[in-house]
Amino acid sequence: MTFDDAALTIAASGRHMDAKGWVPATAGNISIRLGPEDIAITRSGRHKGQMVPADVMLVDGDGASREAGARPSYETLLHCGIYRRFVEAGAVLHGHSIANTVLSRRAGASIRLAGYELLKAFPGGPTHDTVVDLPVLDNDQDIPRLQRAVDALWDDAPDAPPGYVIRGHGVYVWGADMHAAMTRLEALEFMLLCHLEEGRHSR
Distant-in-sequence contacts of 5-8, Cβ < 8 A, 24+ apart? 6/32, 6/34, 6/40, 6/56, 7/40, 7/53, 7/54, 7/55, 7/56, 8/53
Distance from C-alpha of 130 to C-alpha of 144, rounded to nearest angstrom:
33
Question: Among residues 78 and 196, whose Cβ is nearest to ligand L4RZE5RM?
Answer: 78
Q: Which 99-158 residues touch ligand L4RZE5RM, going by CB under 6 A?
A: none
Only one of the segments 13-21, 61-69, 112-120, 163-171 lies at the binding site for Zn ion (rule: CB under 5 A); that segment is: 163-171
| Window 10-29: contact mask with ligand L4RZE5RM (x via CB under 6 A) | ---------------xxxxx
Question: Among residues 6 and 166, whose Cβ is nearest to Zn ion?
Answer: 166
Among 63, 163, 170, 175, binds Zn ion (CB under 5 A): 170
Beta-carbon count within 10 A of 125 CB? 10
Strands 131-137 and 163-166: parallel
From the number of C-beta atoms within 10 Å of its C-beta (0-12, 13-18, 19+), residue 147 rates as: buried
| Window 23-62: contact mask with ligand L4RZE5RM (x via CB under 6 A) | --xxxxx------------x-xx-----------------
> Residue 185 CB, nearest distance to ligand L4RZE5RM (Å)?
14
Are 176 and 89 within 8 A, CB to CB? yes
> Residue 203 CB, nearest distance to ligand L4RZE5RM (Å)?
29
Amino acid identity for residue 142 in this structure:
D
**Interface ranges with ligand L4RZE5RM (CB under 6 A):** 25-29, 42, 44-45, 73-75, 94
